Structure 1
Amino acid sequence: MSYKILLGPSSFGETDKAPFFKLQEAGYEVVDNPFKRKLTKQELFDLLTPDVIGIIAGLEPLDREVLSRSKLKVVSRVGSGISNVDLEAAEELGIIVRSTPYGPTEAAAELTLGALLSLLRKIPRMDQALHAGRWEKRIGTQLEGKTVAIIGYGRIGKRVAELLAPFHVRLLVVDPNLEQSAVGAAELMSLDEALPWADIITLHSSGEACLLGEQEFRRMKQGAFLLNVARGGLVAEEALVEALDDGKVAGAWIDTFGMEPYKGPLCGRENVVLTPHVGSYTLECRQGMENEAVENLLAVTGKCC
């Protein structure tokens, strides 16, 4: 039997063919993602045929049902988070799960800072106006001196804090797994404590559970800014739309969505900057993570017989 490896990420190998060739050189037939978007459960059922022993994974729903109906030996994630994989089921089924935990750190943190500055200074709106032939100056907001709440203080959250340091902001950290000694000069608070103080809230936590719903938006400071480069499910979209409408949230940048590609109510809003889940989309980051993911997979499966 000729064994196969399924590629989940829609852009795998676009910037560097080396990881693709590594799989072929190891003797595997590579099955590309034919839909060029996040695969659904039904599509995974169809693509994970008995000869597919590994998947280079993105954010596909690799739950118990999908895993149990497959013959996978390894799930090798291109990225840090593995909340889309049922780890308990994988262990029971003998499926090895690997990830690239450090890969997206710098790219996601730099994008967060860039998006924050663009949001505060209303750069996207002025850019769109000029491209349309209109000379429209807009008053923005400075980052210096603001209070920034970082929700989730893992690798990316910590790097965002380092990048913010030269702007002389007050840093609040929300992470129930940490003690004050772990956050240095920042202030460790609960979510409820931090929200009324924060001028800017940036999400970098793992998991899929909603953190910001109607109640949390009510606790926020009037005119706060929200950034989410973590997971779409962390923010209740209806509550965010309402908060944008009443001015509780002055502006938002959203990079991740519950349903992708996204076509929801945030589209077309002037005070919302939207990007299509590109936190890791730099040449350096993609090349590094894709190569590491392939090496992780081959370390488990070895060369095909």
Structure 2
Amino acid sequence: MRALVFGSTGQVARELRRAAGELGIEASFLDRAAADLADPDACAAAVRAASVDVVLNAAAHTAVDRAEDEPELALRINGTAPGVIAAACADKGVPFLHVSTDYVFDGTPGRPWREDDPTGPLGAYGRSKLAGEQAVVAACPDHVVLRTAWVFSAHGGNFVKTMLKVGKGRPEMRVVGDQHGCPTAAADIAGALWTIAADWSRGRGRAGIFHYAGAPAVSWADFAEAIFARTGWAERPAVTAITTADWPTKAARPANSVLDCSAIEAAYGIAQPDWRLALDEVLEELGETSA
């Protein structure tokens, strides 16, 4: 299988590269210099020039708070560019896999979100990602939009690395406890994407929007406690749960980011992963375990 991947240094892109090597997949990764999503036409040209079986987009404007200050740029990168790439894929008859987010929902507390639930993003980032989803679905019949949440890995910026950086040596950490979601390892997302891509290459792909995130659902405070409990630190900070109002941010965050992941298992046989297993592996890679 030959693949073209938009993104090179992000969390998911790096895990896609690592997994591709292990799986024997011939994949080309486009960094910003090669194809900047801020220049959608250049991205379409990259698709037209490629001879591949599948195209994946693992690049995005992911700075949630900064998107409030630059909504036009976020929309161009997260909304316009994926649609243009999808159209180029449709012209070539190549399936397009696109990574999206739980932030397309308004976070109303209740049951986990299903793919067909009404969307209602709270900020510029979520609106830009929703626009990208809609553009991809409209432009390319052979598409998969993979919504995920709370991504972490041993590289890039993420909650796990932040907690390790600011928590070491502190007696207490105050962490938001009234936002609930599904931590998801970038490596697990990469594995799911390659599984989906392989099915498409065998003619068994199913188009649509799918949810894929880790289990069990937790609050940010719960997640922080799990991180510290798994470190090899002799002294670990106590985690105190606070409210969202106690930790104001420029962009509003959804209170309920829990995703129902039953549809992807039915369509592709991809089970919801236990994020705690992946967390152990990430901490080991970072050298933060007691082993």
TM-score normalized by structure 1?
0.38
Q: Which of structures 1 and 2 has the larger relative contact order (alpha carbons within 8 angstroms, sep 6+)?
A: 2
For the pair shown, the structure with the greater C-alpha radius of gyration is 1
TM-score normalized by structure 2?
0.39
